[in-house]
Amino acid sequence: MDILDKIQHLLKDKGCMQQELTQYLGIDRSVYSAWKNGKNKSYLKYIPQIADFFEVSTDWLTGKTRYKQEKNADFYVWKITCVEGFDPAFDFAPLIKSIRESRGITIEQFAEAIDIPSDKYEDYEIGYEPLTNELADRMCEALGTSVKEVLTEAAKFSAEGAPRSRTEGVFKALMKAAYTDSSYVALSPTEKTNFKKNVLFFFKTEGYTLRTGAESLGLSKEFCESLMDQFESPKCLDIQKIADHYKIDFNLLARHDLTRESGRNIAKLLKEKGFTKQKLAKKTGLPVELLPNMESGYLPTAFEIGQIAEALEMDILDLPIQSDEFFCYNGITIDISEQERQLLREFRKLTEDGQDRVNAYIADIKDKYRK
């Protein structure tokens, strides 16, 4: 899938019109048409802006990585080891495609059997979206087989137990070894800031200061100093003790900002609507860990929010996302008031022609004010 294919997919995922992207980039719509017709490749100089618009990495757009955001890779761990170079999150669905086609099953029939939209299932087959272990199990169940059988038949299963893929068992084994030898976790500056905020946030919920919280949880003597020093890395054992105490995933606590409320608000709404973590995963194809992660404070990505809104049969604008924290609209992170949000709701109700007319009117007004 080349860069333009990815852009087209992203526009569809976000429910965007081409005009919104061209306006963001400050280019004429005819330029985008020239890109699609292969007349020029000037889009290459807009890669950083396009990545910002869709909230994906430039490395993903240019094909250097398979994950739209590398930080999400840990949510797609599998419970089975594969041979080196085979990432089941992306490489397993094509194996299912071969089985499906050999049995004369159409994409529509198979998507219906596993209860997901056919276009979403097709995204898995072409390697556009990563596949969770849970959804792979459902696919295999529908075909009367198992993940291990499919991998073994394709010579992609590894029984050696070596770290050959991003698998849950291997990941946990490596982390356990890390805890026992008291090594440190290497965090980026942003991750270190998130971890520090998380620790202070969760300690405060129990009335602890940093010092009293560290003493109560039995953390190492150097923990407080390492937390406050931007260049010091925390010990694995310290992070694990905090994660165990607050019943939070290790990687989530160490790398993501869990101090915001929107993720928790969305999780609460999902539960009120009768969604369990399994039901949400089945309905959206997202990781089964997503709901408990949101309950812990994880803020879903733009793509995940879109899938959740679709599962709830709600407009993204009606999800309980706090405007002063984060607002995802067509892939752009913006801070808006409730009044502005209501205007956007009304705008979204218009037909495409109506939206074009409003945009043309706004452009005309801007032009008049400039003059």
CB 124 within 8 A of CB 111: no
Long-range contacts of 64-73 (CB under 8 A, 24+ apart): 66/90, 66/127, 66/130, 67/130, 68/301, 68/303, 69/301, 71/255, 71/256, 72/130, 72/301, 73/130, 73/166
CA dihedral 119, 124, 128, 133 (to 10 degrees): 140
The whole-number pLDDT of residue 167 equals 37
CB 355 within 8 A of CB 347: yes
Averages of pLDDT over each 10 residues, the chain, 371 residues: 86 81 88 84 86 86 83 74 88 93 91 85 88 88 90 83 38 41 67 91 94 93 87 84 90 87 93 92 84 90 82 84 56 56 74 83 76 60
The one-character DSSP state at 329 is E
Cα–Cα distance, 369 to 366 (Å, whole number):
5
The whole-number pLDDT of residue 246 equals 92
Domains identified in the chain and CATH numbers: 3-65 (1.10.260.40), 90-149 (1.10.260.40), 182-255 (1.10.260), 262-336 (1.10.260)
| Of 352, 320, 347, 323, nearest in space to 335 by CA | 323
The whole-number pLDDT of residue 316 equals 77
The whole-number pLDDT of residue 325 equals 58
Cα–Cα distance, 20 to 29 (Å, whole number):
10
Burial of 269 (0-12, 13-18, 19+ CB in 10 A): middle
Helices (H), 65-146: 88-102, 107-113, 118-125, 133-142
Angle between helix 118-125 and 88-102 (nearest 10): 110
Helix and strand element counts for the chain (H, E): 22, 2
Q: Give the count of beta carbons closer than 10 Å to the beta carbon of residue 199.
A: 25
The whole-number pLDDT of residue 281 equals 86
The whole-number pLDDT of residue 165 equals 38
SS3 86: coil
Does this model's pTM top 0.85?
no
